[in-house]
Structure 1
Amino acid sequence: MAVTDPCKAREPKVIDNALIERCIDLQFPKGKVGMLMRADGMRMDQIEEMRFEFMNILKIDHLWVFKSLVKLKLNNNYIEKIENLSMLVHLEELDLSFNKISKIENLESLTKLKKLKLYENLIEKIEGLDNLKHLAVLSLGRNKISDKTEIHYLRQFNLISLNMAYNPCTEDENFRLYVAVFLPNMDYYEYKKITDTEREQGNILFLAELRELVKIEDKKLAVIRQKEKELADAELHSSSFVEYMNSQYLFDKMYENDDEGKALLKIGTEELEEIYNDFKTQFVDYCRQVFEIGQKHYQLRTDEIEQFTRSTEAAKKANQQESIDFMEAFIEVKQELFVKVKALQKELDDAVIDDNIYVEKVEVYFSQFDHIIHDTWKNLMRLELQLYESLEEVNQNFEHNLTEMINNFVEESQAVFTNIRDKEMVFTENLTEAANQFFTSANVGDVEVPEVLKVIMSDKENLVNALGATHDIHMQVIDDREDLLMNRSRTWLDNFIKQLYEDEIKRNRYKILEVTNFLDIQREEFEDMTTLPPPIVDPDDVIED
């Protein structure tokens, strides 16, 4: 009998296909039920719960096959890093307790996670949980969290239960009261319900600290809401192609990657500071002018589109009513003919007339029916052709109007962008003069050079290069924003007009198909009604060869 090497059995593993198969097999029930389930097989993409416990696992991998997984247990292993879980988007419970994890990370896509267990790991900081908006139960006991303020991070969640036992921060005898105060909506700490008395005691001890934290949170929340508002405004204003132009966004963008420009502002003279502030004020004012131009022309375009839509819809509706009138007139004549055919069929059934007379009279009715079908088709096609030609002319005029509107918008905006560039050039000239004066003063030792300016002011060539670089960056940002406005507005126009013509072609084809199908159905119905049934042959009349 072979003896298993215990050291080899404890060798760290990576989750691979073989290990997955083994764990799936272990999860089958024992006995006949398990045998039957093994025979049927188990589809990995339908499994909702998996356990990889006490497997000496070092690295998480290959779990992407479990696309429907809701519960996953990876506790009691040697896992050092949370990774390769991004595909498990349906996961609600994750147990990584008793491992070697030092950082909470790579959980962004697990947005449905409700329960997370990280008991007994090497974690020092609470982080990486921002996307887990449904997180309700968190276990972080026996880690290395030493700062009790780490729990402030958890205020963003609606936690029901938290366990932090045996972390260094919990050695403070009042830590439970601290939790009760700073996580006021949480019900349980270390699986024991937090009482109102504990919250009251905690408020007495930590009220001042709580108030300071709330002030900081309010400021952060205000910044977040401002950002959200800016994004919402940008989305709203994107239709007018001037998003962010009602703020100092473009001005800030110029200095975003302009290290030389930011350094040169450290020259620090009152005159330069005044020049800079005037430049910023005028620059932002011009940006707002572009924004107002965008809003004005957006409203003009919207009014034009609404008027065009109303007029074309009215024309289509009137044309449709005329088509209906022709069809109703056709149906009325058709019904009269059907009544005559039915009367003729009754005469045939009653043997008042024979087949020949029936066919002769039916051919007359059929000729009349064919005539009204043809007239109806001509009238409906004439109406559609009139509408198509009329809409074609209207669409061309509309295209011309919209094109002119976009051109006017671009021209007005470009005029303001020219002013923006002029202001930047004037500022560069003033900055150059101030920088040269500072360079001269620095060389004779009259002023102290800030650290960020020492390289720039080390020689004349560096200064010239720095001034040229900051000017080029600013101009590039301005040019790019102008190009973006022009390109997006013209692209919108091209796409809008293209879609307009495509929709009209589809409408025309559908209308022709609708008319043709309608009349084909009417013709088939008349033919079916007027066709004589095949003669009934008496078997006794059949003459055998």
Structure 2
Amino acid sequence: MLTNITRLVLSNNSLTDTRGLERLSKLTWLDLSFNQISRISSLKSLRNLEVLALHNNLLRRLERGALQPLSHLQVLTLANNKIHDIDDVRTLRQVKCLASLNLANNPLCDHRYPDYVLAHLPDLAYLDHRRLTPQDHAHAAQQYKSVVAVVEAQEEKAQQQEEQERLTRASQEEHRRAGVLALNDGSLFSRMFRGDKDMGVLLQLPGAHTLMTKYRDQFNAVCLRVFNAGLDHEVQRQTELELLQEALDVAKNDADTYARGVVRRVEGEVETVVAAGQELRAAEEASLGDDQEAHEARVAKAVALREQFDALLDDASQDLLTAEVTLADQVKDVVDRAREELGTLVGNFLEAAAMELQEGRRLAYTFYCRLRELTAKMVDDGAGGSEGMDEERTARVFEGSDTLTSALAGIHDRHLALIDSREADLRQHLQQWLTHTLHEISKAEWARHRSRVEEITTLTARQRQLLYDALPTTHE
């Protein structure tokens, strides 16, 4: 629970792993030496770590990626462990700020160890507590030039692959937000025929493959049009949200400017009244009660000041609350207009997408009709056992007109069901987005409104108390 710790020493214990440290994200110094740790884990979140001591443990490997997120790590001590594979040093190339490394007394420390480490870690300044010179690095780089070149090529390839995966994830997230995920890769069409054994038989009919190819190309073109329209629609939605936020910011900035003016005016008047009250209080305390008439005059003036000040604060509080209520009404109007405009935008897109998907249903029906014509021709020609077709499966599909009709209808129904399901998913996604987005904006603005009302109440009470503390007591 001590999440603000920056320096932690856990040396000379019986720790076997590093679990439990992942929440200490502010650590800059961590000493885990003289324990029984055999594996580095749970340290990836310690991104502020500068010094890590793991000497005198039971580490056997430096696992790839275990220390990569530690972008500020400068000092790493791994001496007196059981690390045996010198190639594990390559994983430390991911620790970009590493300046000091201690690997002494590990099994990997053979005659080639120092040069091998320096060649792979060219920015290292200290190795096993020894200061490194430019000559040390130059000699090591020359000795292992070809080996390091291979490693650099592998790293570049891995980096390119990682970047490609990142772009793919970002693209998929964009498609998910737009509600058109996987509408550009032909996967919806592929799902229509996945596991359909009857279709496997029917596709062997003369002309069936050409028919399906045409169906696939036309259907995928429909999906692609929905996909591209969805991306354009996502841009339009984000633009509308930006306009909404700009309108909210303008209204809030205007209200804040007005409120700051009221507060400055009140604070100035408060300062004047408080000063007068303090003078009265000082005079009252200095009088020692020897002048009843002067005392009564001061009390009367104090009462007048209090009444004047209460009226001042009441007016200021009313001004601020009125301005805040006006702002809340403006915010509500802006959100309501955005709800209407975004609702129209979403509705128009869903209508256009529905028309495109209706074209997909028409293509499915056309495919069904053409396929039925091909099968009818085959039945009429008595060619149920055409060469190259699985006779048992063919016989089952073509054993009677009812069976054949049922198979074709089943194919058609499955296609329509998948199209219907995809359209329903798209509609549900966008309607949920619209509801959730506007709800979150309204919730945030309502929380801001309540907070501002509390601030106004607190400000009024604080200013009132300043005067009451400055005035002499009036109950006498």
Assess same fold via TM > 0.5.
Answer: yes
**Residues 23-49 of structure 1, C-alpha deviations (whole Å, 9 max, x = no match):** xxxxxxxxxxxxxx9xxxx99xx6549
| Whole-angstrom distance in 1 between the partners of 2:244 and 2:200 | 51
Q: Residue 450 in 1 paired to residue 386 in 2?
A: no
1:541 corresponds in structure 2 to: none
1:209 corresponds in structure 2 to: none
1:415 corresponds in structure 2 to: 355
| Whole-angstrom distance in 2 between the partners of 1:467 and 1:320 | 68
2:452 corresponds in structure 1 to: 511
Assess if the C-alpha contact under 8 Å between 2:281 and 2:470 holds in 1. no
| Whole-angstrom distance in 2 between the partners of 1:343 and 1:133 | 71
> In the TM superposition, what is the alpha-carbon distance from 1:395 to its structure 2 partner?
1.7
| Whole-angstrom distance in 2 between the partners of 1:513 and 1:303 | 33
| Whole-angstrom distance in 1 between the partners of 2:376 and 2:60 | 64
> In the TM superposition, what is the alpha-carbon distance from 1:421 to its structure 2 partner?
0.7
1:303 corresponds in structure 2 to: 239
- 1:313–1:229 distance in 2 versus 1, CA, 3 Å: closer
1:293 corresponds in structure 2 to: 229
> In the TM superposition, what is the alpha-carbon distance from 1:471 to its structure 2 partner?
1.9
Secondary structure of 1:371's match? Answer: helix
Assess if the C-alpha contact under 8 Å between 2:277 and 2:472 holds in 1. no
Assess if the C-alpha contact under 8 Å between 2:385 and 2:391 holds in 1. no
Q: Residue 281 in 1 paired to residue 217 in 2?
A: yes
Secondary structure of 1:528's match? Answer: helix
Secondary structure of 2:198's match? Answer: helix
1:464 corresponds in structure 2 to: 405
Q: Give 1:523's aligned amino acid.
A: R
> In the TM superposition, what is the alpha-carbon distance from 1:70 to its structure 2 partner?
4.1
> In the TM superposition, what is the alpha-carbon distance from 1:285 to its structure 2 partner?
0.8
- 1:328–1:226 distance in 2 versus 1, CA, 3 Å: closer
2:422 corresponds in structure 1 to: 481
> In the TM superposition, what is the alpha-carbon distance from 1:264 to its structure 2 partner?
2.5
- 1:133–1:433 distance in 2 versus 1, CA, 3 Å: farther
| Whole-angstrom distance in 1 between the partners of 2:339 and 2:223 | 29
Q: Residue 525 in 1 paired to residue 463 in 2?
A: no
2:256 corresponds in structure 1 to: 320
Secondary structure of 1:526's match? Answer: helix
| Whole-angstrom distance in 1 between the partners of 2:389 and 2:168 | 38
| Whole-angstrom distance in 1 between the partners of 2:203 and 2:374 | 10
> In the TM superposition, what is the alpha-carbon distance from 1:133 to its structure 2 partner?
5.8
| Whole-angstrom distance in 1 between the partners of 2:439 and 2:318 | 30
**Residues 394-443 of structure 1, C-alpha deviations (whole Å, 9 max, x = no match):** 22122111111111111110010100011011111112222333345564
Q: Residue 254 in 1 paired to residue 195 in 2?
A: no
| Whole-angstrom distance in 2 between the partners of 1:464 and 1:138 | 70
2:343 corresponds in structure 1 to: 403
Q: Give 2:309's aligned amino acid.
A: F
- 1:464–1:405 distance in 2 versus 1, CA, 3 Å: same
| Whole-angstrom distance in 1 between the partners of 2:162 and 2:394 | 37
- 1:232–1:340 distance in 2 versus 1, CA, 3 Å: closer
Aligned positions of 1:82-481 closer than 5 A: 115=60, 230-267=168-205, 269=206, 271-351=207-287, 355-441=295-381, 443=383, 447-450=387-390, 453-454=393-394, 456-460=396-400, 461-481=402-422
Q: Give 2:234's aligned amino acid.
A: Y
**Residues 301-334 of structure 1, C-alpha deviations (whole Å, 9 max, x = no match):** 2222111211121011001111111111111111
- 1:274–1:528 distance in 2 versus 1, CA, 3 Å: same
| Whole-angstrom distance in 2 between the partners of 1:228 and 1:261 | 38
| Whole-angstrom distance in 1 between the partners of 2:285 and 2:456 | 35
Secondary structure of 2:204's match? Answer: helix
Assess if the C-alpha contact under 8 Å between 1:442 and 1:449 holds in 2. no
Q: Give 1:273's aligned amino acid.
A: H
| Whole-angstrom distance in 2 between the partners of 1:368 and 1:309 | 41
> In the TM superposition, what is the alpha-carbon distance from 1:389 to its structure 2 partner?
1.6
Assess if the C-alpha contact under 8 Å between 1:384 and 1:508 holds in 2. yes
Where structure 2 has 5 or more consecutive residues not aligned to the other structure, the ranges are 1-11, 19-34, 45-57, 68-81, 93-118, 121-142, 148-153
| Whole-angstrom distance in 1 between the partners of 2:352 and 2:204 | 36
- Between the two proteins, what is the percent identity of the paired residues? 19
| Whole-angstrom distance in 2 between the partners of 1:441 and 1:226 | 54
> In the TM superposition, what is the alpha-carbon distance from 1:372 to its structure 2 partner?
0.3
Assess if the C-alpha contact under 8 Å between 1:245 and 1:291 holds in 2. yes
Deviates more, 1:489-498 or 1:344-353: 344-353
Which has the larger Rg? Answer: 1
> In the TM superposition, what is the alpha-carbon distance from 1:448 to its structure 2 partner?
4.1
Assess if the C-alpha contact under 8 Å between 1:417 and 1:478 holds in 2. yes
> In the TM superposition, what is the alpha-carbon distance from 1:273 to its structure 2 partner?
2.3
> In the TM superposition, what is the alpha-carbon distance from 1:132 to its structure 2 partner?
7.2
Q: Give 2:187's aligned amino acid.
A: Y
> In the TM superposition, what is the alpha-carbon distance from 1:486 to its structure 2 partner?
0.3
> In the TM superposition, what is the alpha-carbon distance from 1:488 to its structure 2 partner?
0.4
Secondary structure of 1:309's match? Answer: helix
Assess if the C-alpha contact under 8 Å between 2:247 and 2:334 holds in 1. no
- 1:114–1:133 distance in 2 versus 1, CA, 3 Å: farther
> In the TM superposition, what is the alpha-carbon distance from 1:222 to its structure 2 partner?
11
- 1:385–1:256 distance in 2 versus 1, CA, 3 Å: same
Which of 421, 436, 439 matches 1:495? 436
> In the TM superposition, what is the alpha-carbon distance from 1:71 to its structure 2 partner?
2.7
| Whole-angstrom distance in 2 between the partners of 1:350 and 1:159 | 80
- 1:421–1:454 distance in 2 versus 1, CA, 3 Å: same
| Whole-angstrom distance in 2 between the partners of 1:159 and 1:328 | 60
Assess if the C-alpha contact under 8 Å between 2:274 and 2:466 holds in 1. no
| Aligned-residue RMSD, C-alpha | 4.4
Secondary structure of 1:71's match? Answer: coil
2:38 corresponds in structure 1 to: 71
> In the TM superposition, what is the alpha-carbon distance from 1:387 to its structure 2 partner?
1.2
| Whole-angstrom distance in 2 between the partners of 1:249 and 1:281 | 12
- Alignment length (residue pairs): 364
| Whole-angstrom distance in 2 between the partners of 1:263 and 1:138 | 60
**Residues 221-245 of structure 1, C-alpha deviations (whole Å, 9 max, x = no match):** 9999988755442211222111222
Assess if the C-alpha contact under 8 Å between 1:71 and 1:91 holds in 2. no
